[in-house]
Amino acid sequence: MSEIFENSGRTELSQLGEFGLIEHLTKNVKLYNESTIKGIGDDAAVVSHGGKKTLISTDMLIEGVHFDLMYVPLKHLGYKAIMVNLSDICAMNGIPTQVTVSIGISNRFSLEAVEELYAGMLLACDKWKIDMIGGDTCSSQKGLIISITVLGEADEDNIVYRKGAQKGDLICVSGDLGGAYMGLQMLEREKAVFLETPTAQPDLEGKDYIIERQLKPDARMDVVELLKALSIKPSAMIDISDGLASEILHICKQSNVGCKLYEEKIPIDTLTYETAREFNLDPTVCALNGGEDYELLFTVPQSAYEKIKNQPDISIIGHIVDESEGHYLISKSNNAHEIKAQGWNAFKGA
Amino acid sequence: MSEIFENSGRTELSQLGEFGLIEHLTKNVKLYNESTIKGIGDDAAVVSHGGKKTLISTDMLIEGVHFDLMYVPLKHLGYKAIMVNLSDICAMNGIPTQVTVSIGISNRFSLEAVEELYAGMLLACDKWKIDMIGGDTCSSQKGLIISITVLGEADEDNIVYRKGAQKGDLICVSGDLGGAYMGLQMLEREKAVFLETPTAQPDLEGKDYIIERQLKPDARMDVVELLKALSIKPSAMIDISDGLASEILHICKQSNVGCKLYEEKIPIDTLTYETAREFNLDPTVCALNGGEDYELLFTVPQSAYEKIKNQPDISIIGHIVDESEGHYLISKSNNAHEIKAQGWNAFKGA
């Protein structure tokens, strides 16, 4: 928070004006991709994906709805805003290449604050060599609004939709789940402590992994590359933004299939597990409904089993069944629980 | 306004949830373009512009900053939001083909209100056969936020940037200028009257043209098509969103040239002229600094003069000079006034 409100070195946005601000923020933008013919600075950007197909996805983030600047530093926010968009392109088995960034900013923010936000966005772009090619910068009446559109590319044959899962396919997930949600719980708890006792120091010791899962998620471009290296094309894929339960139901709905997941197979990091227990939460429920892990959930034909079974960062957590068999989680005690979407509802209490 | 607050037939957004709302709003989306391989409904959309280049532009509109729902009906707002984005693609001499739409909505809005907004957007899409291929729908803490990204296509050789204007080129503009600004003045005046005397009826009689210029602008796709039919490729082009003065300076700055505009040549509609006088405003100043006309401002080589001089919807308003000669408007009384950008500053008083 401190950087937003401190007075030393505060530059008002009104001193620069819209064009000045855009020029200032974008002067460090580097272009990495040959497909970017013209970036920022004209009425539109120009890209060419030649014989490849262009993938497009967009996301809007609003202060107080999607993030809380009490505990999310602006640099992390910028980084995450880019990453969650890249993740959508990965979920199509594509390679993200360009982003446009629009921000609405209230006069509560100084130039220095907006620079922090951009620094985080450019750091994320640099990590995966993404070109920032355009955007819009305007004032908002309240809070910070970020809207990002990402373009990516893929050969038509390699694009993976949500709708291709077949009966018998293995259900796989990258990384581990529930960590981002437990990181959020930690941050929310510290915020509550802080609001009660402003002199208290945050107690996040030993919680680095889950805090990072929440504040600095990474798009799994490496998994897209791994699948390519293994010559595996998933039959269906989605990224986990709303939680495993919600996402597997999306795949099943669009593919007209059912699923069977096994609780004991769901990858949960030890720290996530222990922190969930500390909060009297069921770790499996956190993995199912927590969301924001930005891991990839995908299905592959059984023939891919040999190739995938020993990949340390991929877990096989179940299989696709006939639609008539429904959508079930088999618990460790061998009970079948129906899977229901309890993902985040954007309009609850809005 | 009335439709937003009326109680009869009001459906709360929370009844549908995010996925339900998206499904409801997008069920009438038609796809028109062969280049759209996959639209709404997966992690990303897929487009293919084959051998052509993809053009991308994006805009954010925020209630209270860019529009006032006191006098802008939601259907018009949706229509205009799409059109101003299409206009950016036209300004590159391209053909817009797809849009993504993200909206943030506070719980002040009912489903019926959001449907109106979408109806306007889809009407604009239908007019120019644009595919809506994706988006994001979320709640906002305050007011309505609209973020649109548009894709278009063009052969690489036909793309027109801001930077190509050459000394001696003719400066041309489509349609007429200042009307959208005078429409806004009318609406602002009626709003003030209404706030003082809520029973007063709006007095907009005879002002249809300028009201429509403000509320329902059209992207000049027809001008792009006309230029193509005339085999004219402009040397530089931009659309007029901030006003003629600001836009010609953008072209000059990026082309490293100067300009001479002639006041008597600037196309101003009679109603715009008379209304400006009524408001004690200088009609030329309204055309120079008013903005939001979304006409195309472009430069062509002198060799195009014969082709363009009799086009009823195109005015030749000046010519490009050496950078050292500066940027001047020659008044009707033959005085030279330096042109200064007084476009809308997004951060003034924000």
Provide the pLDDT for residue A135: 87
Residue B254 has pLDDT above 80, yes or no: yes
Of the candidates B65, B94, B138, which has its C-beta nearest A60's C-beta? B138
Residue B58 labelled as part of a binding site:
yes
Report pLDDT for B2.
37
- Does residue B273 share a domain with residue B238? yes
A44 with B56: Cβ contact below 8 A: yes
Identify the domain containing residue B282 by its residue range: 162-338
pLDDT at B5 over 70: no
Helix (H, G, I), strand (E, B) or coil at A245: helix
Residue A257 lies in a domain: yes
Position B205 pLDDT exceeds 90: no
CB–CB contact B346 A100 (8 Å): no
- A9, A40: one domain: yes
Q: Is residue B345 part of a domain?
A: no
**pLDDT confidence of B7, banded at 50, 70, 90?**
very low
Residue B127 confidence (pLDDT): 94
The residue count for chain A:
350
pLDDT of residue A3: 39
Average pLDDT over residues B298-309: 97
Given a cut of 80, whether residue A13 has pLDDT beyond it is no
A152 shares a domain with A170: no
Whether residues B44 and A89 touch (CB distance < 8 A) is answered with: yes
Query: Per the annotation, where are the binding residues of A?
Result: 43, 57-59, 66, 88, 118, 135-136, 162, 239, 241-242, 292, 344
The per-residue pLDDT for A101 is: 93
Residue given tokens 């085999």 in the structure block: B231
In chain A, the DSSP E strands lie at: 36-38, 45-47, 53-62, 95-105, 131-139, 145-154, 170-174, 236-239, 258-262, 296-300, 314-321, 327-330, 336-338
The confidence score (pLDDT) of residue A204 equals 79
Segment B119-132 shows an average pLDDT of 93
**Position B274 in a domain:** yes
Of the residues B104, B133, B157, which one is the last residue of a structural domain? B157
Q: What is the mean pLDDT of residues B251-274?
A: 97
Say if residue A173 is in the same domain as residue A212: yes
Does B33 lie in the same domain as B114?
yes
State the CATH number of the domain containing residue B229. Answer: 3.90.650.10
Structure tokens that stand for B188 in this block: 């602002």
At residue A345, does pLDDT exceed 60?
A: no
Give whichever of A291-305, B13-27, B98-112 has the largest mean pLDDT.
A291-305
Q: Do A88 and B53 touch (CB under 8 A)?
A: no
Binding residues of A for substrate: 66, 292, 344
Would you state the pLDDT for residue A5? Answer: 38
Binding site residue list of A for ATP: 118, 135-136, 162, 241
Lowest mean pLDDT, pick from A92-96, A110-114, B72-76, B232-236: A110-114
Mean pLDDT estimate for chain A:
90
Domain-embedded: residue B344: no
A141/B106 touch (CB, cutoff 8 Å), yes or no: no
Which chain B residue lies closest to A138 (C-alpha atoms)?
A: B346
Q: Could you tell me if residue A346 is inside a domain?
A: no
In a domain, B348, yes or no: no
- Residue B54 pLDDT grade (very low, low, confident, very high; cuts 50, 70, 90): very high
Let me know whether B179 and B326 are in one domain.
yes
Using the CB atoms, write b or e for A261-276: b if 16+ within 10 Å.
bbbeebbbbebbbebb
pLDDT-based confidence at B4, cuts 50/70/90? Answer: very low
Say if the Cβ atoms of A239 and B56 lie within 8 Å. no
List the single best residue of B56, B69, B92, B163 to mutate versus A (max A Cβ within 10 A). Answer: B56
Determine the distance in angstroms separating the CA of B335 from the nearest CA of chain A, rounded to an integer: 29
pLDDT of residue B315: 98
Would you state the pLDDT for residue B194?
83
Checking if the pLDDT of B9 tops 80, the result is no
CB contact under 8 A, B102 and A59: yes
- Tokens coding B190: 């009626």
Band of the pLDDT at B247, cuts 50, 70, 90? very high
**CATH assignment of the domain containing B44:** 3.30.1330.10
Q: Which of A98, A145, A344 sits opposite B145 (nearest CB)?
A: A145
Confidence tier at A137 by pLDDT (50, 70, 90) = confident
Strand partners, A131: A98
Q: What pLDDT was estimated at residue A1? A: 35
What is the predicted pLDDT for the residue at B348?
Answer: 41
Q: What is the Cα–Cα distance from B103 to B81, expressed in whole angstroms?
A: 11
Q: Shortest Cα distance from B14 to chain A (angstroms)?
A: 5
- Judged by average pLDDT, the poorest of A45-49, A216-220, B97-101, B330-334 is A45-49
CB B65 to CB A139 under 8 A? yes
Checking if the pLDDT of A350 tops 70, the result is no
**Percent composition of chain B: helix, strand, coil (DSSP 3-state, to 5):** 40, 25, 40
CA atoms within 13 A on the CB side of A31: 14
Which helix (DSSP H) or strand (DSSP E) does residue B317 occupy? strand B314-321
Across residues A269-282, what is the average pLDDT? 96
pLDDT of residue A84: 95
Does a structural domain hold residue A186? Answer: yes
Mean pLDDT across B23-39: 82
Span A32-45, mean pLDDT? 84
The answer to whether the Cβ–Cβ distance between B346 and A143 falls below 8 Å is no
A229 to chain B, closest Cα gap in Å: 22
Q: Which residues of B182-214 are buried (b: 16+ CB within 10 A; e: fewer)?
A: bbbbbbeebeeebeeeeeeeeeeeebebbbebb
CA distance B158 to chain A (A): 12
- Residue A227, min C-alpha distance to chain B (Å): 18
Q: Give the pLDDT score at A7.
A: 45
Residue of A33, A56, A99, A294 for testing the chain B interface, max B β-carbons within 10 Å: A56
Domain count, chain B: 2
| For chain A, percent of residues with pLDDT exceeding 70 | 95
**Dihedrals phi, psi of A23, to nearest 5 degrees:** -60, -45
B256: buried, middle or exposed (CB in 10 Å: 19+, 13-18, 0-12)? exposed
For residues B118 and B246, membership in a common domain is answered with no
Same domain, A124 and A61: yes
Is pLDDT of B108 > 90? no
User: pLDDT value at position B41?
Assistant: 79
* pLDDT value for A111: 87
Reported ipTM: the value is 0.87
Confidence band, pLDDT 50/70/90 cuts, at residue A348: very low
Distances in whole angstroms, Cα of residue B259 to Cα of each of B80, B166, B251, B256: 31, 10, 10, 10
Q: Report chain B's mean pLDDT, rounded to a whole number.
A: 90
On whether residue A345 sits in a domain, the answer given is no
Residues A148 and A65 in one domain: yes
**For residues A12 and A231, which has the higher predicted lDDT (pLDDT)?**
A231
Give the model's pLDDT for residue A10: 80
A167 and A146: one domain?
no
| B307 and B174 assigned to the same domain | yes
Q: Which of A106, A110, A347, A348 to mutate to test the interface with B (most CBs of B within 10 A)?
A: A347
Using pLDDT thresholds of 50, 70 and 90, give the confidence band for residue B257. very high
Q: Of B226 and B27, which is predicted with more confidence? A: B226
CB B98 within 8 A of CB B130: yes
> Pick from B122, B157, B192: which residue ends a domain?
B157
Q: Is A345 exposed, middle or buried (0-12, 13-18, 19+ CB in 10 A)?
A: middle
Bridge partners (DSSP) of residue A321 are A258
Q: Which residue has better confidence, B345 or B11?
A: B11
Residue B93, Cβ density class (10 Å: 0-12 exposed, 13-18 middle, ≥19 buried):
buried
| Boundary (domain end) residue, out of B140, B157, B174 | B157
**Do A37 and B46 make contact, defined as CB atoms within 8 angstroms?**
no
Whether residue B239 has pLDDT greater than 50: yes
Same domain, B132 and B224: no
